[in-house]
Every structure is written in structure tokens, then in C-alpha cells.
Amino acid sequence: MEDKLATVEIKAFVPAKDFELSKRFYSDLGFIKASDGHGVAYFHYGHCSFLLQDFYDEGLASNLTMHLLVESAAAWHEKLSNLNFDYCESVRVSELVDQDWGMREFTVHDPSGVLWRIAENIS
């Protein structure tokens, strides 16, 4: 019997203060822009995706956290640490740390202030 309530995907809408700048940032991170129109750009990296929107609310952006679970946080950290974000001084990459809750992670703030936690399971 077919499951009529089967799910396919869930995506967050991520706000962009400067839509073009944010699209550049996410492309530099390695996300693929699969579509772009009507103020929404669809980005994915493997099976992970989100919708970047040409909409900005400071309260939303500063309180939104995205969590990206990866196989190697160290590899991602090295990649992001070596990228040149001179075009956007608000982008910040933290140190890589092992957390008490069993994850190795670091954070990066996007050009709009959205916090990304990039982590791997280590326990």
C-alpha cells in the first residue's frame, strides 16, 4: 500500500540582506544554485538544500541557525578557512571544536548574519 503521507524533502527559507552577495557566498561555499527566479534561489549540496530568499528581516536573520551535518567537519573547516571572503567583511568562521554533546563543529555567519553550524558526529 502506498504511503499517502510520505515526505519528500524539507527546506528552510534563508533571508538575504543583499541577494546577489549571498548567492555569491553560497556558491563559493560549494552549494549548487539549481534555480533562481522570483526572488528565490534554490541551493543544494548533495542531498542537503535550502531556499535563499530576496527578503531580509534583521530579527529573523540574527536568530536563524542552520545545522549542516557532514562527514568531516575538519575538511569543511579547512575549505572555508581558505576561502577569500574579502567581498564581505561580516562573514566569520570560528575555530573547530569538539563539543561535550558528541559533535566536532564550527560556525560560520553568512553575509546576512545567519548562523550556520557545520558539524560531524564523533561519539
Q: Does residue 72 belong to any structural domain of this protein?
A: yes
Question: Contact, 104 vs 5, CB < 8 A?
Answer: no
Domain that holds residue 62: 13-121
90-110, pLDDT tens digit by residue?
999 999 999 999 999 999 999
pLDDT, position 2: 75
pLDDT, position 1: 59
| Low-confidence residues in the chain, pLDDT < 50 | none
| CATH assignment at residue 95 | 3.10.180.10
Q: Does residue 22 belong to any structural domain of this protein?
A: yes
Task: Provide the domain count of the chain.
Answer: 1
Pairwise CA distance, residues 70 & 97, whole Å: 14
pLDDT, position 3: 84
